Chain A
Amino acid sequence: MMRTADALTVERLSAGYPGRPVIRDLVLPPLPGGAVTALVGPNAAGKSTLLKAFAGLVKAAGRVTFGDHDLLRLPLAARADLIGFMPQSLPQGVALSVLESVIAAFEASRPGALAGADAARRAITTLDRLGIADLALDTLDRLSGGQRQLVSLAQALVREPRLLLLDEPTSALDLRHQVTVMEAVRALAAEGRIVVVVLHDLNLAARWADRVVVLDHGRAVAVGTPAQALTSATLADVWGVAARITLGPNGVPHVVVEGALDAPPVPAAAPGVPPENSTAA
């Protein structure tokens, strides 16, 4: 069973690309284990960069503690044992089967940790857990968009990380697959993991996340339950839209955007800020 006591704490975190800082002095209240935290915000707000800073994929300074670990000072391989990162997309044209890709994700930086047969068994167990064991022998390239996302999730999950970072796992998915992925994400959090997920769709965040962090220009503008963080005022300030928030019967807020405000606060592509999809290769 997971340890539930560990929380993720962010203190004065700065992160970004050479010559292009994206996040400056970010402070977040501790993100608890067993909960799903959604990172939302407009394009170039720093959502993906924050996730990548946790995962060690971009240069970062400050302090990110997870249990007893100072994440930013852990070597890559040690960090990889704690963290599962799911990038926005899988590359095309890869001649690997689904199962092989998950085994490779397990073996990558610690070959020989398990005998080959055990690693394969562990990989298929992960696929089984996500309900996609039937895809195990399919080639990655033949999968549909939703299947690809689930396989990508399996790759992030095979080492049983205690901290799961998902970069827009539902982008380009139809409604049914969005639900499938988010249900899987909830179940993973329920086992004590910390799950941090970047989402564009505010209603998806409101429906599935326990906590929402609204980022804008690399700063946390609002943090709290979906109902606390997603208010008309925040939406007007951050996205520049007029929005009505209604509460559903179960207390889940629902965002209805009525239109753009006359003066949007900042153009989407501010100079010096990398586009949302830029990768730190």
Chain B
Amino acid sequence: MSGNGAAGAADGSVSGVRITDLHKRYGDTLALDGLTLSARPGEVLGIAGPNGAGKSTMIKVLAGEVTADSGAILIDDVDWSPAIGASRVAIVHQEPQVFPNLTVADNLLVGRERRRFMRHGLNDDERRLMEDLAIADVADQRLESLPLAVQQRTEIARALAQDARVFLFDEPNSALTEDESDDLFRRMRRLADAGRVVILVSHRLAELVAQCDRVAIILDGRCRTELRGDGLTQDAIARELVVGRTQRAAASAVARREGGSAGASLVLSGWTHQQGEFRDIELDIRTGEIVALVGVEGSGARELVRSIAGFEKGSGRIEVAGRQGSRAVAAGTGFVAADRQESLFSNLSVGENIVSRLSGEITSFLGALRRARMAQLAAKFRDSFSVRVHNLAQPIRSLSGGNQQKVALAAAIIKRPEVLVLEEPTRGVDVASKAEIYTLMREYASDHHAIVMFCTEVPEVYEAADRAHVVSDGRLSPPLFVAQYGDVESLASDITRLERHGMVEALAMTAAPD
């Protein structure tokens, strides 16, 4: 940690990046609602916020992929827009935006060739740059054959060669090893010390605290607050992220369970991912239970949840409704992906989407569709899921995000799977629809089914789940029983602690209450 980064930039100075009153609306949703932020040269500004808070929209605006509806961005007190200075802002993603088929050196040069039609070598500045970033040794190798960390450093070198002023790191290390990510953060700090503006967007609270001088919390398209100095702790960030988002919906006030009913719906034993994202998972879910598996990207939680539905390969024992093996998984689970691009058919109507997973129920002789039956089923589920739609024939894209998500859920639930497997069930969904979705989930679970969901947001766990396990580094924490928490902040604290310290402290901690 270092609070001394503000090299020559006293507060109130105009150099650096100033984002003022940025607005961006997508259809019904306000992604940015007057976002105001400033980042000074010499410091590392952290940005935290739940999914859908507007972070990625902000990044897209800075990357020039999206134009804001209103607001201003100033770099060093000069109006900036991607059209006039795209290379002033460099975005370093988890997936480097480079040319994998070219060599490292060519990557540095491409787009800035000084003479047309002629190959040329690097100049001294460029060579020094490559040495600084420890990529000079591999200058002649094609990028695709090199590790991700090298690709990222090449991306940084590319940006430096173009004299970028602002470096925005967007979850840059989710696919890096610990050593690689330490190295990346050292380089990030060095960029700041050299007087460039550095912004780090991350979900990992520990990193934000360790790497940043200041952390801005973005909620609902605005900068809610900033934490700095002694106030900058993981617990503080975790609490700020969930504050004001906790009116427990009426439905979720339904008595929480702590053990579920007698019947085990899903049993995992020695369950290990083929690519090693999770290992030796022991999990036992009963009918009537909603279990949240919480973890940041790269923790293995997403893979674990997908493997329960059979969409990631795992080895070990899996038992669904008393039957073992992949057939039982295929027959007994239904899956809804977080991304609606992966759960809905955009060329089909709302009604067709609802019944898209059915076959026998909607056909008669020779596989002929029973249109009336389809209409009837779709209408029934539209009503019980309160999907707001003029007509079931409307294209699915004409619905709001919340209604689309309800259709995606209906399409899975219509098959009545024993275990419903959900990935971030309310991502990009408005508040009212969220409450409705939680109610639907509760009703389905109460009807002798089990639900497993992958969550990244604590409020979702608090409102929807009976039990949560934190996944960190491919391991499952002991259970947290949501009913034992009176407020979301304390749940957020415990989840954060489990994410931070892994299993050692977790064991000590849960020995006490239960």
A joins B in a complex: no
